[in-house]
């Protein structure tokens, strides 16, 4: 395959003009779509801009290579533009861009095109070649320049013989998240810098096609220095004891001379393997902002949690659907478990959903403190999701003066406190566990070397789980318990006042604050309690149309409407505002629609965990609107769960659907307005 196979005259624009970087990329995308290899233009465009958010693809010397690898690309392709007047591209050297190549790569295992793209990237490092392209007058001349240079490069590659080892030998590893252009350009820049310095270098490239030119143990042993210019994970244990300079892949392009000089001198700090079982991440986050570090740790937990939410949530929704189809939509609390198959689906789905918060907390801690943080984080997450109920009934009077504090605060009254802190507590537990383990590492680092082996398998898990357990049981969970007690009192007072519209607003909003957490559960438990009250009233002779009975059913309807808004609102936002979400987030839109239909609010948790400051207000307002409208319309619900599968039991079902959709649309627009464009 040659560059000509990926680039045609129709996807080349000579003498283009652009007011800014955004306009230049949009013009290039327009050229790319002419090739017919883009099946989802919005997804591809969003991916290109998301890549720019990670770091500019303006590599210097007037050249930019924006690129994206995604499902919206059916076949690899190139588009090219010359921009005589230049355009500001936030390039590494600050210079305006005059030559732009846009790359489209399909997200498939077939990576035969990567050799071509890497060859083009390397060619662009030659000033004579890039200057010739900038001066081309027609698309045909542009292509002929590439053809001649590529043929020459292919010939050189075939005739290349292994150079004799010089007195100085260094090695390097390059890699970028996309693995298309920067990986190979950094490798070429380092090779040129080494040649200019009279040094032999071997560069391992870790691109989309996998690791190439892999360093051997012999290479590493004889190298005077090692350069790791990468923004993706690299196996680092092999470099133990060797001087290693770690940096971003962009530095491998723009600072190649400095890096080679430092590697030759061997002045970099010797690499130390912190944990023998850990796969090290090459990117040093110490220089990143605190906010970015928090986001990185949080996303580690969210990405691992997502499969549990989707898998478990959809299985539960299928259980409700099956019971509905089998005619068991009016069995009350048994809905979703009325048949053996539905009961099985609900059981395993519930187990998967139950792992959601522990996994979130565990992998936040793992991101902060590596593998030793995993067990401690899981424990914190389990305490957040299960609360203190299991030990609330213990006779704490045996602990003397401490008993009153334990009974009145930690367990909110013997055996009566709801101390589940949910996914917000899980986030807190994850960060707590991670930093506790880091602290334990710090205070034990001067222990005798002979005891190093017991630190990760004994000291960290035992001390870490104890500390996190104490903080969760006696501080975080109880504080949430106090909040729940206050919420229950407030809801009862509002219900007694007869302001049913206000009750609907509050209940709907509460369902979307922590999506299955304590506030959500407080509202839901209040709703099921209202259904029990309605049952007592009717048993005592009240009719179904009695205002008190109707108020109970209206409260339950507002709760379910509010709980169905977050996942649907987010799914709609993924569809209509795709740039606000990562590719992984957009892929969940169908599953979120399914979960919204099944009244499974937890589908919104990964989004809320990733961006709580914007997502939670958006879902809360939309859910509050849905609850308010449902109450104002007088919609009623006699089933405690089920979503669309129990709409047959809803009073005024059409208006109920209107309330749900309006609330979801409010959430969608708020997300579109408040969220920033996705970072990745």
Cα 378–Cα 381–Cα 386 angle in degrees, nearest 5: 125
Closest to 573 (Cα-Cα) out of 537, 529, 543, 603: 603
SS3 content of the chain, % helix, strand, coil (to 5): 65, 10, 25
Long-range (24+ apart) CB contacts under 8 A made by 606-611 are 606/302, 606/305, 606/306, 606/309, 607/570, 608/423, 608/514, 608/515, 608/566, 609/298, 609/301, 609/302, 609/305, 609/360, 609/423, 609/427, 610/295, 610/298, 610/299, 610/302, 610/585, 611/675
Long-range (24+ apart) CB contacts under 8 A made by 41-46 are 41/72, 42/72, 42/578, 43/70, 43/71, 43/72, 43/578, 43/583, 43/586, 44/68, 44/70, 44/72, 44/73, 44/104, 45/579, 46/578, 46/579, 46/583, 46/677, 46/678
Query: What is the CB neighbour count within 10 angstroms for residue 399?
Result: 12
Catalytic residue among 68, 70, 176, 597: 176
Residue located via tokens 């955004």? 22
67 tagged catalytic: yes
Residue located via tokens 């949530």? 313
Asked if 117 and 105 count as a contact pair (C-beta separation under 8 A), the reply is yes
Distance, CA of 361 to chain centre = 14
Write the CB contacts of 344 (distance below 8 Å, at least 6 apart in sequence).
none
What is the token pair recorded at 570? 């987010």
Asked if 521 and 480 count as a contact pair (C-beta separation under 8 A), the reply is no
User: Which residues partner with 531 through β-bridges?
Assistant: none
Length of the chain: 680
Write the CB contacts of 244 (distance below 8 Å, at least 6 apart in sequence).
225, 226, 227, 228, 236, 268, 269, 270, 271
Rounded CA-CA distance 105/78 in Å is: 9
What is the token pair recorded at 372? 């030793």
Rounded CA-CA distance 361/384 in Å is: 9
Catalytic residue among 67, 113, 182, 248: 67
Rounded CA-CA distance 657/635 in Å is: 10
176 tagged catalytic: yes
Asked if 319 and 601 count as a contact pair (C-beta separation under 8 A), the reply is no
Q: Where do runs of H (alpha helix) occur along 445-517?
A: 460-471, 477-497, 500-511
Closest to 520 (Cα-Cα) out of 430, 433, 425: 425
Q: What stretch of H or E contains 227?
A: strand 226-230
What is the token pair recorded at 492? 């009862």
Active site residues: 67, 176
């Amino acid at each position: 395959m040659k560059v000509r196979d990926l680039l045609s005259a129709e996807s080349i624009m000579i003498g283009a003009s652009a007011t800014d970087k955004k306009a230049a990329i949009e013009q290039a995308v327009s050229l790319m779509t002419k090739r017919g290899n883009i099946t989802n233009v919005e997804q591809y465009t969003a991916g290109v801009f998301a890549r720019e958010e990670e770091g500019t693809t303006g590599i210097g010397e007037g050249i930019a290579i924006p690129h994206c690898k995604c499902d919206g690309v059916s076949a690899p392709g190139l588009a090219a533009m010359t921009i005589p007047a230049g355009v500001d591209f936030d390039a590494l050297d600050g210079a305006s861009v005059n030559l732009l190549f846009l790359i489209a790569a399909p997200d498939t295992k077939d990576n035969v095109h990567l050799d071509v793209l890497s060859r083009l990237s390397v060619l662009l490092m030659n000033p004579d070649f890039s200057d010739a392209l900038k001066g081309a007058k027609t698309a045909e001349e542009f292509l002929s320049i590439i053809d001649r240079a590529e043929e020459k490069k292919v010939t050189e590659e075939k005739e290349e013989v292994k150079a004799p080892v010089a007195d100085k030998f260094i090695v390097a590893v390059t890699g970028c998240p996309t693995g298309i252009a920067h990986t190979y350009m950094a490798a070429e820049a380092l090779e040129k810098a080494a040649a200019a310095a009279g040094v032999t270098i071997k560069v391992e490239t870790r691109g989309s096609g996998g690791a190439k030119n892999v360093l051997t143990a012999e290479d590493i042993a004889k190298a005077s220095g090692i350069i790791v210019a990468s923004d993706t994970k690299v196996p680092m244990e092999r470099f133990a004891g060797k001087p290693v300079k770690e940096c971003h892949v962009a530095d491998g392009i723009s600072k190649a001379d400095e890096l080679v000089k430092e590697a030759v001198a061997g002045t970099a700090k010797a690499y130390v393997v912190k944990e023998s079982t850990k796969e090290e991440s090459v990117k040093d986050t110490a220089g990143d902002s605190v906010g970015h570090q928090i986001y990185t740790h949080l996303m580690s937990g969210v990405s691992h949690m997502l499969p549990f939410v989707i898998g478990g949530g959809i299985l539960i929704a299928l259980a409700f659907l099956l019971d509905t189809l089998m005619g068991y939509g009016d069995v009350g609390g048994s809905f979703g478990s009325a048949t053996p198959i539905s009961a099985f689906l609900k059981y395993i789905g519930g187990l998967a959903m139950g792992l959601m918060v522990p996994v979130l907390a565990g992998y936040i801690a793992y991101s902060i403190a590596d593998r030793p943080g995993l067990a401690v984080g899981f424990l914190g997450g389990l305490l957040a999701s299960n609360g203190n109920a299991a030990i609330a009934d213990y006779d704490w009077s045996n602990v003397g003066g401490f008993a009153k504090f334990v009974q009145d605060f930690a367990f909110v009254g013997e055996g009566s406190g709801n101390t589940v802190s949910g996914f917000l507590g899980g986030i807190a537990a994850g960060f707590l566990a991670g930093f506790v383990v880091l602290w334990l590492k710090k205070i034990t680092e001067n222990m005798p070397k002979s005891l190093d082996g017991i630190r990760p398998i004994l000291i960290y898990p035992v001390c870490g789980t104890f500390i996190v357990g104490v903080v969760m049981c006696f501080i975080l969970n109880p504080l949430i318990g106090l909040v729940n007690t206050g919420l229950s009192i407030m809801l009862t007072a509002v219900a007694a006042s007869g302001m049913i519209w206000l009750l609907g607003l509050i209940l709907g909003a509460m369902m979307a604050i922590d999506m299955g957490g304590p506030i959500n559960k407080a509202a839901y438990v209040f709703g099921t309690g209202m259904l029990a009250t309605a049952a007592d009233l009717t048993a005592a002779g009240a009719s179904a149309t009695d205002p008190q009975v109707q108020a109970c059913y209206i409260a339950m309807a507002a709760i379910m409407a509010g709980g169905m808004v977050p996942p649907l609102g987010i799914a709609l936002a993924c569809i209509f505002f795709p740039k606000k979400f990562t590719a992984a987030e957009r892929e969940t839109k169908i599953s979120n629609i399914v979960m919204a239909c099944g009244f499974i609010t937890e589908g919104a948790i990964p989004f809320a965990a990733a961006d709580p400051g914007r997502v939670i207000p958006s879902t809360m307002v939309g859910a509050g609107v849905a609850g308010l409208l449902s109450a104002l319309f007088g919609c009623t619900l006699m089933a405690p769960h089920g979503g669309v599968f129990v709409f047959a039991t809803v009073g005024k079902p059409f208006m109920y659907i209107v309330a749900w959709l309006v609330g979801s649309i409010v959430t969608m627009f708020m997300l579109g307005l408040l969220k920033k464009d996705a970072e990745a």
